[in-house]
Amino acid sequence: MFFSPLREEKNPSFTVSYHGGRWWWRDWGTNESGDVISFVEKYLDCSFKEAVQYITGEEWSSPPLPPPPPPPPAALEKEKRDIQPFYEWLKSHSLHREVEMYFKKRGVDYHPEMGSVVYTKSGGHRYVATPCPSPMHILGLECREIEGPGRITLGRKALWWFPQKSDSVLVTESILDSLAGVEVLTFKKTPSLLALNGVGNVNQLKSLEQVRPQEVWLALDADEPGRSAQRRAVEIVKSLGAKVVEVDIHLRCGVKDLHKLLQAQTVRENPPPPSPCGALKRILLSRQEGTIKRKKKLPRLTGRVGRGGENDEN
């Protein structure tokens, strides 16, 4: 706790913490809070631009915003009966860089072969839309909001399939989980990726019979629907004659899925910098010395998985 730099007080009530990849301050006496820039704005009673210039010591101007995409053809926007022409239209009006940044911000690699595009819904909400099962054979588009938690499906709910030259397949619930699995699990060779896009599609795993994998890694979510779907998935994969590898590392680390496991691991391996910026550090230290309690470290990820109901070291 610090004495608030923004007002006079007798008891310290000002805190600084690191959360969600950013530094935040909070004055518990007035219930005001914000980031580094908003602090300098209040402390110096200046504009946003002046605060940025004060922190960086450089001139600053807002980057130009890209022009909004033109509206899609009215018939397609209203009906979307044939998803393929609608996807081709979205593809011709999407910025590849925006799609790439969406996945990069979430800590996973984006592969252009996935064919993801940007879809702007009526009302201005923007989504990254990934064709399922693949860009060559589209039954539906799985859409995830770029700046929010929203998710929608255009067309039919279908599996997402990303083949690799491998005899193994990693099965998860979402596309992000599949991409994260390549980062947090150890494979001899990168497996083909398959996302259910919802536990209701678990019976569609029977389609793996067409590719005849030797080994299938199952890493469905840690919640009850995910566990129930996992048990059904084990039955289906065994009926196909493939070896089953049940991934449980996310369960043991107390997170829901492989993408959240990757995010937790990234936070552990990349701790926050010692201060938000030199300017804020100088201001706070000049007013009052204090301490900040550190959060407990996340458990070390050992990477153990269960094979056919037994636990082995991965």
Answer left, alpha or beta for residue 243, where phi above 0 means left and psi between -120 and 50 means alpha.
Answer: beta
- At residue 62, the pLDDT reads 62
Amino acid at 264: A
Is the Cβ–Cβ distance between 139 and 132 less than 8 Å? yes
In-domain check, residue 266: no
d(CA 119, CA 145): 9
Last-in-domain residue among 103, 127, 156: 156
Query: Which contiguous run of DSSP H or E holds residue 137?
Result: strand 137-145
In-domain check, residue 268: no
- At residue 79, the pLDDT reads 41
**Are both 83 and 150 inside the same structural domain?**
yes
Question: At 218, phi and psi to the nearest 5?
Answer: -110, 120
In-domain check, residue 104: yes
Both tokens assigned to 285? 């230290």
Q: Residue 187: how many CB atoms within 10 A of its CB?
A: 15
In-domain check, residue 5: no
Global pTM value: 0.62
**Are both 201 and 152 inside the same structural domain?**
no
**Are both 146 and 173 inside the same structural domain?**
no
In-domain check, residue 96: yes
**Are both 252 and 165 inside the same structural domain?**
yes
- At residue 265, the pLDDT reads 82
**Are both 110 and 184 inside the same structural domain?**
no
In-domain check, residue 293: no
Is the Cβ–Cβ distance between 170 and 154 less than 8 Å? no
**Are both 204 and 250 inside the same structural domain?**
yes
**Are both 169 and 147 inside the same structural domain?**
no
**Are both 191 and 228 inside the same structural domain?**
yes
- At residue 284, the pLDDT reads 56
In-domain check, residue 261: no
In-domain check, residue 312: no
**Are both 92 and 57 inside the same structural domain?**
no
**Are both 27 and 51 inside the same structural domain?**
yes
- Name the domain count of the chain: 3
Answer left, alpha or beta for residue 123, where phi above 0 means left and psi between -120 and 50 means alpha.
Answer: left
> What is the arrangement of strands in the sheet containing 32-34, beginning at the earlier edge strand?
14-19, 22-27, 32-34
- Whole-angstrom CA distances from 73 to 79, 85, 142, 156, 269 are 10, 10, 20, 20, 47
pLDDT digit string (tens) for the chain, length 314 residues? 889 888 888 888 999 988 777 888 999 888 888 999 899 898 888 888 888 888 887 766 666 666 655 555 554 444 445 788 889 888 888 778 889 999 999 999 999 999 999 998 877 889 999 999 999 889 999 999 998 889 999 988 999 999 999 999 999 999 999 999 999 998 989 999 999 999 999 999 999 999 999 999 999 999 999 999 999 999 999 999 999 999 999 999 999 999 999 988 876 666 655 545 555 555 555 555 544 444 444 454 444 444 444 444 44
The domain containing residue 205 runs over which residues? 159-256
DSSP-assigned letter for residue 220: -
- At residue 264, the pLDDT reads 87
- At residue 309, the pLDDT reads 46
**Are both 111 and 173 inside the same structural domain?**
no
Check which CATH number belongs to the domain holding 170 and give it: 3.40.1360.10
User: What is the three-class DSSP state of 73?
Assistant: coil
